[in-house]
Chain A
């Protein structure tokens, strides 16, 4: 009998079941419990998705006769729902789908561009705006908005007057003010915009787009989504930029690169993982966005979430099978993209999240 065997023999049955043999292994009983919990949660996670999937292959009869679970055993899978959606309702779905694709990709691109630039600037340059100027700007802005809204003064006249007043103020008093705010304050201001519930701003945004006849257009949603997600980009990317050694950028600067070349050639490639992960996150947020689209799109620029939500109230009741097809069609690109970019996410987002 080997020495190890003898050692094992000396442990009682209770010890063998409940005590871990070493730090990096688990005792059989606790190991079983951990597995049981993990498998249970796996079921919780996968079951709703499984249900959506099989419902999309059911007919109206299968759905209405109570629960059936297993294709080919409980019920015969049919492509009816897929057929309905892809052949009969094809036009509406495709329109919403293209809208969603265009709006989410362009707003992500725009958001990433503007957001990374601001995040980089805040990580590299020093800003010392005067507190007094900002305060004056806020007061003048509030006064101007109130004037336009309550006294119906033409907005062009008011804006021009307000701008004039502000510049006069800077000229007259700007130099005398001492108190300044720093990069940290600007960063906090940008990130804190995310706290703002979209419902607070969406009505004025609606009125703004209405006044320039941009309601129910892809552009309106693109811009609005971009602003809504900007804080996330600034927050995540600022952390990544702050960790890049300054030497590399200084070296490039001396070697003749412009600031934009440095940003494009050196800084962005170095933060590739974080950038891709952030972009994916923003893309998913824009893809799934519901409230802003509810306000700002009615038909022309209708996005997928609105289309799916509207299937709630049909004259034939809810067509669960068709609905499930649409949901799957909505999920598939996200899943594919996530799988495709998994490498970046693991490296990028997790690191950022921990640091954050």
Chain B
């Protein structure tokens, strides 16, 4: 089922936390709302759930206008960051609660709770209390409680952020698998770009209550709409160099870098991903920098180099070896360069 936001805005008194957001999750889609804290992503999710009132605009779920419908009548399920499990109820009662309050009878309730519990491998924990479970198991109970009702959409508010790093990776895969199997529209809020990239069909990147870009992870990575998106996505982040763009020639500190964008800007920013740079000799005309630090990650080495004020990170092969302070040259592939207007942040194409 679809979830649509039409020019939805939210303000607390004079503070605008969400500026007329237009967003639509298609049927069966896994849509991730990505942004830093304070970007309005959680507010947007809570508005879809009905926990927060809408200042203006409409929300449609499965084609029905639910802007003024009570949360309980919106037929969505939500997984909270804290899981929000009821500590005084067993796993069975926790999972069965959404059915119980809807007046489902005992036999059917039991059957459905058992079915869902088996799907998340909790079948043998039904009589336990949440405090007797591990973090991952609690998370699965929360998931099962959302699934048991078969809602039209799942809403998830940073559900993995309370888990340790190893478990998070595992649960991420499980979550993706489950969503794929159920085919239920899912709106997922996170500040973690890896989660967003790995889980999403499409990512909506929010900043200061405004939608920056809505696209597939690959598109967002390869074709960022503006400076903010380019900086936000990618780990380590995209390298940024300030300078002047003249008819496709980017000038910084006396070096000219040829680009494919035939435009001119007094103040421009050149962006290049670490994996697109390469280290080369220091022949004339090359961009020169001195090595600041090298970090062996495993399958590659991250080389941080310093050119004047700018710091660049370059992904080099795992065999790279050079002394700190050594001067090297950096190669930028012409077709992998991004250029932005420094003042507006707009991508130059």
Contacts and interface: CB of A to CB of B under 8 A. Distances in A.
B87 A254 contact: no
Contact of B84 (A250, A261, A269, A272): A250
Interface in A247-267: 247-248, 250-258, 261, 265-266
The dominant DSSP class at the A interface is helix
Nearest to B75: A256
Interface stretch (B96-104, B106-114, B328-336): B96-104
Interface centre among A258, A265, A270 (most CB of B within 10 A): A265
**3 nearest A-B residue pairs (beta carbon):** A255-B98, A247-B84, A251-B84
Given A247-B80, A261-B101, A254 B86 contact: no
A266 B88 CA distance: 8
A204 interface: no
A356 interface: no
Contacts of B102: 256
The dominant DSSP class at the B interface is loop
Interface of B: 49-51, 71-72, 74, 76-78, 80-82, 84-88, 97-98, 101-102, 145, 149, 155
A245 interface: yes
A255 B77 CA distance: 6
B99 to A, nearest CB: 9
B101 A251 contact: no
Nearest to B155: A254
Contact of A254 (B51, B82, B88): B51
A147 B86 CA distance: 54
13 contacts: A248-B85, A248-B86, A252-B101, A253-B72, A254-B76, A255-B97, A256-B98, A256-B101, A257-B72, A257-B97, A258-B72, A261-B101, A265-B97
A252 B78 CA distance: 10
Nearest to B157: A247
B145 A250 contact: no
B264 to A, nearest CB: 53
Contacts of A257: 72, 97, 101
Contacts of B97: 252, 255, 257, 265
Contacts of B78: 250-251, 254
A163 B248 CA distance: 79
B45 to A, nearest CB: 11
Contacts of A247: 80-82, 84
A261 B86 CA distance: 13
